[in-house]
Amino acid sequence: MKDIATPANIIAATAHDEQTDKAGAPYITHPARVAAAARHAAPAHLAEQAEAVGWLHDVVEDASVTIEQLRALGFPEPVLAGVDAMTKRHSETVEEYFTRVRANALACIVKKADLDDNTNPERLGQLDAPTRARLATKYQRARTLLALDGADQ
């Protein structure tokens, strides 16, 4: 199988160049952690695809990359479908978004890794109290909609 994680890493690093997270850290550290966690969590036959989706999960939504550009670069359809499933649409509700994520195995794996990273106490501890409270509510709702609010946490 052709290596897809390395080009996904390069595309993400380029797309997120100079972006920072809410605490001011380089944004690329978030997709890096998500990609590693997704690879680890995925079944062996999906590990590399999950890692690639982890790297790419925000490039369409937060940068000027399109699914068609990723297709032209040779990413396999399951990776494209995973990235597409994780890309929020401006016209959809949160419930519609999570319905789409739940319908895609790679997106589910990566979204769980994304939520785990976004709710990491060390990361949240760098934010002010009102932001932490707002994000705690947002991410708990996301876990519920993804059906991760039970024993799977």
Residue whose C-alpha is closest to residue 11's, from 77, 92, 80: 80
Average pLDDT, the chain: 93
pLDDT attached to residue 1: 52
What predicted TM-score, i.e. pTM, was given to this entire model?
Answer: 0.91
Q: Is residue 70 part of a domain?
A: yes
State which residues form the domain around 13: 5-146
**pLDDT classification of 23: cutoffs 50, 70, 90:** confident
Q: Is residue 151 part of a domain?
A: no
Instruction: Give dist(CA 85, CA 83) in Å, integer.
Output: 5
- Give the dihedral of Cα atoms 111, 115, 116, 117; nearest 10 deg: 100
Q: Is the pLDDT of residue 96 over 70?
A: yes
Mean pLDDT of 22-45: 96
**pLDDT per residue as tens digits for the range 39-74:** 999 999 999 999 999 999 999 999 989 999 999 999
Q: How far is CA 27 from CA 12, 24, 31, 47, 58, in A?
A: 10, 8, 8, 23, 10
Instruction: Give dist(CA 151, CA 63) in Å, integer.
Output: 34
Q: Is residue 16 part of a domain?
A: yes
Percentage of the residues of the chain whose pLDDT score is greater than 90: 86
Q: Is the pLDDT of residue 149 over 80?
A: no
Q: Is residue 132 part of a domain?
A: yes
What does the block give as tokens for 131? 């932001």
Q: Is residue 153 part of a domain?
A: no
User: How many structural domains comprise the chain?
Assistant: 1
